[in-house]
């Protein structure tokens, strides 16, 4: 529903945990708040996580459960949920105007918490076989690969966390990483190293995903000019990093070389009235607790007139 009359005090773009936390803290301050998220699918990437790790406040819950609890809390506080996509952002006499498919929403302050999306490999076969063996959500799709062999691509926390979840279902996992060591937390690395279902392909890239109606294997190329090889598998799970998920922003919003938004220590961007928190922001630690903490700190520092 479009708001008529006065602008919101705070409009949050993004429904991940950073965005939900920003909306929650703003509402607790008694501010008028709207939370805008494409399609209204609140929760962001955390929705893909079967068990939250590294966020003590969550306890033993899934990402879906945590996001649902946060959403219920902000609705009870009167936050207006706007199920729409931010297409552009402009300044209008000290007010920030956010253009969406349904119209223009105006706010005194905008918090960009749109997060990041998982990168794709960009190799032949990936898009054609996405949803037919290619996946980026172990919690969603692990059950389709019971007692089958799969490939996980990546060497960071997400790749290892998802691979460890998949190991409860599959018969074997080949983890393919471009580096000669894993970048993930040592606790994840130790668990994978001790798991007999894991095989590691170091300094190797996936160059093609093979299959017709479904995934049948991958073609990989080791570093050093070694000939390409094929690995038979029924599924490929891709976790090779993130890219910022942002709407069309003014040219004067500063970004780094990878497109992430640059902020000052108070999470203010280079545009007055516009803040950025969480995974969309350059310098974000990647920790769930950090995203929530950044949101709280940004809202605490606001001066709404």
Q: What is the mean pLDDT of the chain?
A: 88
Domain holding 161: CATH number?
Answer: 3.50.50.60
Question: What is the per-residue pLDDT across 40-90, written as a single tens digit (0 to 9) for each?
Answer: 455 555 545 545 555 555 454 556 677 777 888 898 999 998 888 888 898
User: Quick check: 24 pLDDT over 90?
Assistant: yes
**How confident is the model at residue 2, as a pLDDT?**
46
Instruction: Over range 201-205, report the average pLDDT.
Output: 96
Q: Do 208 and 129 share a domain, yes or no? A: yes
User: Quick check: 91 pLDDT over 70?
Assistant: yes
Q: Do 54 and 91 share a domain, yes or no? A: yes
User: Quick check: 237 pLDDT over 60?
Assistant: yes
- For the whole prediction, is pTM greater than 0.85? no
Reference 159, options 219, 212, 119, 115; nearest CA is 119
Give the number of domains in the chain.
Answer: 2
pLDDT tier at 6 (50, 70, 90 boundaries)? confident
Residue 170, domain member (yes or no): yes
Q: Do 198 and 263 share a domain, yes or no? A: no
pLDDT tier at 129 (50, 70, 90 boundaries)? very high
Q: Do 128 and 230 share a domain, yes or no? A: yes
Residue 35, domain member (yes or no): yes
Sequential DSSP letters for 240-290 = --EEE---B--TTS-B-TTSPBP--TT-B-SSTTEEE-GGGBTT--S-HHH
Question: For strand 86-92 and strand 95-100, is the pairing parallel, antiparallel, or unpaired?
Answer: antiparallel
């Amino acid at each position: 529903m479009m708001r008529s009359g006065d602008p919101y005090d705070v409009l949050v773009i993004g429904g991940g945990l950073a965005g939900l936390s920003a909306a929650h803290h703003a509402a607790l301050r008694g501010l008028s708040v709207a939370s805008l998220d494409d399609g209204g699918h609140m929760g962001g990437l955390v929705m893909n996580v079967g068990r939250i790790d590294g966020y003590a406040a969550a306890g033993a819950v899934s990402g879906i459960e945590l996001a649902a609890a946060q959403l219920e809390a902000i609705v009870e506080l009167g936050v207006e949920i706007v199920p729409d996509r931010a297409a552009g952002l402009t300044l209008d006499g000290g007010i920030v105007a956010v253009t969406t498919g349904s119209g223009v929403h105006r706010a005194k302050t905008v918090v960009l918490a749109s997060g990041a999306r998982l990168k794709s490999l960009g190799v032949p076969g990936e898009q054609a076989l996405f949803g037919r063996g290619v996946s980026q959500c172990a919690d969603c799709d692990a059950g389709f690969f019971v007692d089958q062999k799969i490939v996980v691509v990546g060497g960071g926390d997400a790749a290892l966390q998802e691979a460890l979840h998949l190991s409860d279902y599959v018969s074997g996992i080949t983890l393919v990483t471009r580096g000669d060591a894993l970048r993930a937390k040592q606790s994840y690395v130790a668990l994978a190293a001790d798991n007999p279902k894991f095989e590691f392909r170091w300094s190797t890239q996936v160059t093609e995903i093979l299959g017709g109606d479904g995934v049948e294997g991958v073609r990989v190329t080791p570093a050093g000019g070694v000939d390409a090889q094929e690995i038979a598998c029924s599924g490929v799970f891709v976790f090779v990093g993130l890219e910022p998920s942002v709407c069309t922003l003014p040219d004067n919003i500063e970004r780094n070389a990878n497109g992430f938004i640059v902020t000052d220590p108070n999470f203010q961007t280079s545009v007055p009235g516009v803040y950025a928190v969480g995974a969309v922001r350059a310098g974000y630690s990647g920790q769930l607790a950090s995203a929530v903490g950044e949101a709280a700190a940004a809202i605490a520092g606001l001066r709404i007139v």
